[in-house]
Amino acid sequence: MSAYINISSMIDPIYKQIGAVIKSRRKTLEMKQETLARMLGISRGSLANVETGRQSILVHQLYKFAVALQLKPVDLLPQPSPDHLRTERTELPLPSGLKAQEKEQITRFFEQVDTNQIRERKGKRAKSTSR
């Protein structure tokens, strides 16, 4: 058995995704790592680790990155994929003895409810901002 531990397999993929967004935005703004790191009060090495996903960031840091990169904090977060949401739905506690088709129908029902709720929220926001 080898004593070697593959660190990259222990990194949560969300931090790689956040880091990629940070790096991409920094480059879009034609900003050097040193400049952004100075704005954030961190070392260039820490920023490099964040951009590659080797270093996680805390919520308050996420806000600092967003301000420095002229983004909203949510813009730095990856959106869950529809497949991920579907998997979560099928992992809900369902009665035993359901057929696969019945489970699929329940999953589609919950997805439709979610979609309708999102549309309603967007409609309410649009009405409140137009006032």
- Confidence tier at 6 by pLDDT (50, 70, 90): very low
pLDDT at site 95: 74
Q: How many CB atoms lie within 10 A of CB 65?
A: 24
| For residues 38-65, average pLDDT | 95
Distance CA 81, CA 102 (A): 23
Q: Which two tokens stand for residue 97?
A: 């003895």
Assess whether pLDDT exceeds 50 at residue 16.
yes
Distance CA 109, CA 124 (A): 23
Indicate the DSSP class of residue 41: T
- Confidence tier at 99 by pLDDT (50, 70, 90): confident
User: 97 burial class (0-12, 13-18, 19+ CB within 10 angstroms)?
Assistant: exposed
Distance CA 72, CA 116 (A): 25
Question: Residues 59, 50: contact at Cβ < 8 Å?
Answer: no
More confident residue, 85 or 103: 103
* pTM value > 0.75: no
- Sequence-ordered list of residues with C-beta below 8 angstroms from that of 65, at least 6 positions apart, any chain: 22, 40, 57, 71, 76
pLDDT at site 38: 97
| For residues 18-37, average pLDDT | 96
pLDDT at site 102: 80
pLDDT at site 89: 47
- pLDDT, tens digit, 9 for 90 and up, residues 55-80: 999 999 999 999 999 999 999 998 77
| For residues 40-53, average pLDDT | 96
* Domain over 7-76 is classified CATH 1.10.260.40: yes
Ordered by start, the domain boundaries in the chain are: 7-76, 82-129
